[in-house]
Amino acid sequence: MNNPRKQIVAGNWKMNMNFQEGCTLAAEVVKGFSYDGTVEVILAPPFIHQAAVAEILRGREGIWLAGQNCHQEASGAFTGEISADMLRSVGARYVILGHSERRQYFGEDDELLRSKVDRALQSGLEVIFCCGESLEIREAGTHFDFVAGQIEKALFHLSEEQMQHVVLAYEPIWAIGTGKTASPEQAQAMHAHLRKRVEAQYGPAFAERQTILYGGSCKPANARELFSQPDVDGGLIGGASLKANDFLSICASF
């Protein structure tokens, strides 16, 4: 198959796994995953695990490290924060930005996310940018415009060159950690809509190459059907990324 887009399965561990458990999990994933030139795997452990997981991934093909967040400033008096340069310096290639939990619990809005995106790209990180609507917004029927608005506000100031370093992740909030997955049709409809918006801004050839992941209760039992949708290029996995076997089976779902 000649797919113009990068296919990715990313594991967002969130605030789970102590250091030893995290290292064991990373080692199990490394052991069970073999890169065949198609699907790439990304692990996003907590900050404190990053350097050790980077060592575990060293020299392995097709498997990358990501931060779960970074600060918008380059450095300075921001007690408790982690910079994009720090992530880069331990070997992270990606950073997740705009996750709904960051928006909801830490008050991150479109304007802040825009500056985080800029900082991450300046530091040489690639961005996994999350977007998604609440149940209220879906029920009101305004979800397509709402989600497209999130990417327009935080990303569409980027040049085409910069935007090449951004992966989109559609994560309906009502599906995150709830066991309630979006149906393959619901995911496909939103992904196609986002691709159209990317096309309007960056042109058709660019949009064809834009990777768009789905996230929200993705698991071995539903990954294959989700990933078989024409505009779904992989997944951002929370709960099911904490068990090596489940995560590896999702990676093998294309």
Calpha distance 144→132 (Å, rounded): 9
Distance CA 103, CA 153 (A): 14
The one among 176, 187, 226, 248 contacting ligand PGA by CB under 6 A: 176
Q: Assess 218 for contact with ligand PGA (CB under 6 A).
A: yes
- Quick check: is 171 catalytic? yes
46: CB partners within 8 A, 6+ apart:
13, 15, 16, 17, 22, 68
Burial 195-205 (b: 16+ CB within 10 A, else e): bebbeebbeee
Which range in 32-40, 82-90, 106-114, 235-243 contacts ligand PGA by CB under 6 A? Answer: 235-243
Which residue of this chain has its Cβ atom nearest to ligand PGA in the complex? 238
Minimum gap (Å) between residue 182 Cβ and ligand PGA: 10
Residue 73 buriedness (CB in 10 A; 0-12 / 13-18 / 19+): middle
Please select the residue that binds ligand PGA; options are 86, 154, 237, 248, rule is CB under 6 A.
237
Any contact of residue 239 with ligand PGA (CB under 6 A)?
yes
The yes-or-no answer on residue 99 being catalytic is yes
CB of 42 to ligand PGA, least distance (A): 12
Nearer to ligand PGA, 53 or 96 (CB): 96
CB 10 to ligand PGA: min, Å = 8
Q: Look up residue 226 and give its two tokens.
A: 């989700």
What are the Cα distances from residue 216, in Å, to 53, 174, 182? Answer: 24, 8, 7
Q: Is 242 in the site for ligand PGA (CB under 6 A)?
A: no
- C-alpha span between 131 and 10 (Å, rounded): 15
Please, which residue, 177 or 203, has the CB nearer to ligand PGA?
177
Q: Which two tokens stand for residue 245?
A: 């076997």
Identify which of residues 49 and 207 has a Cβ nearer to ligand PGA in the complex: 49
Residue numbers at the binding site for ligand PGA (CB under 6 A): 12, 171, 176-177, 215-218, 236-240
| Catalytic residue annotation | 99, 171
